[in-house]
Amino acid sequence: MASPVAFAHDFPFDPAHGYTAPDQLLQVPAPPAPADFEAFWRDRYARARAVDTRPVLGPVEEERDGVRIQGITYTSVGGVRLGGWLALPAEGPVRYGFVVGHGYGGRQEPGRDLPPPLPGAAAILPCVRGMGERGRVDGIPDLADEHVLYGIGSRESYVIGECVADLWCAASALTEAVPELAGAGHPGGPRLGYLGESFGGGLGALALPWESRFGAAQLTVPTFGNHPLRLTLPCTGSGEAVRAHHRAHPEVTGVLRYFDAATAAGRLELPTLVAAALFDPAVPPPGQFAVYNALAGERELQVLSAGHFPYRGMTAEAAELDANRTRFFGEWLVPAG
């Protein structure tokens, strides 16, 4: 594993946070879980699975890269109606299904998250509540620094838990909208794949341990890993807003224990590919590696030179990750039919 590159930057802190040897990052642990951690998440999952998502497809918006893209809306917990995009193969039957989480700031268009990693795949690209034009919800801020604090006073009201539920409901909407995927999670049925980057990576780590419909996942520069450590590390991302809030409200640590992606990863037994960065001003690298280190199942690591930061060699590393993603999901996902 390569050592962190000494990138020239003007941040008032070290985006590698002093982790000069990769072996150090591979030793970062996950915090211990609250005694009722699993019960808390399994209850939330059961409530989300009980939602009648009632997906509605809009007209085709574009066709490219072998997929036909149209809008989709669906219902999530609390009766909230959310939107996003559904991509279907332009030709031939659906053989795979993917849920694709987005970064903090939301998704204004499908963008570079398409085409899906495998040919013949359908993908739902949801906008979780508060994020992006199709995820707008009255009262929930759409700015990352404000969104990450919404409802943080209690574990029941914290918006991050509701965003996780939005992903579960997106999976339900996908399997309802695409008949070939209706048996996902049943014996002999297909298994979905999950893709999530940054915010979407952290949400995925929280969502997937309780899911039977998924067969494999990729988490890229995942956030929310090891909150106790993150609270000590300056950054430019939403974590800095949480750090500032914590200084005024230290009791918030009790809530954050339930939303730690590394703690959840200790229950995640799905084969998981993690792309973690050695240098990242927005999501501190030790938190990313804490997620990978805690994974309970088959795991694979691709080390990135940097995350949330442009650098020479970025295109080549992204192409390598794309190739690894296709190979990885091809190994672990069983096609429908």
**pLDDT reported for residue 309:** 95
Cα angle 213, 56, 138 (rounded to 5 degrees) comes to 95
DSSP E strands, the chain: 56-64, 67-75, 81-89, 96-100, 121-126, 192-197, 214-220, 272-277, 299-304
- DSSP secondary structure string, 193-208? EEEEETHHHHHHHHHG
**pLDDT reported for residue 22:** 87
**pLDDT reported for residue 1:** 59
pLDDT along the chain (337 residues), means of 10: 76 94 94 98 98 98 96 98 98 96 92 92 98 94 96 98 98 97 87 97 98 97 98 96 98 98 98 98 98 98 96 95 97 89
Domain limits of the chain? Answer: 22-332
**Beta pairing partners, 277:** 304
AA identity, residue 109: E
Give the fold, CATH level 3, of 22-332: Rossmann fold (3.40.50)
Cα angle 180, 183, 188 (rounded to 5 degrees) comes to 110
**pLDDT reported for residue 4:** 64
**pLDDT reported for residue 185:** 84
**pLDDT reported for residue 334:** 86
pLDDT digits (tens, 9 = 90+) for 268-298: 999 999 999 999 999 999 999 999 999 999 9
Q: Which H or E element spans position 102?
A: none
Spatial distance between the Cα atoms of 31 and 290, rounded to a whole number of angstroms: 9
**pLDDT reported for residue 2:** 60
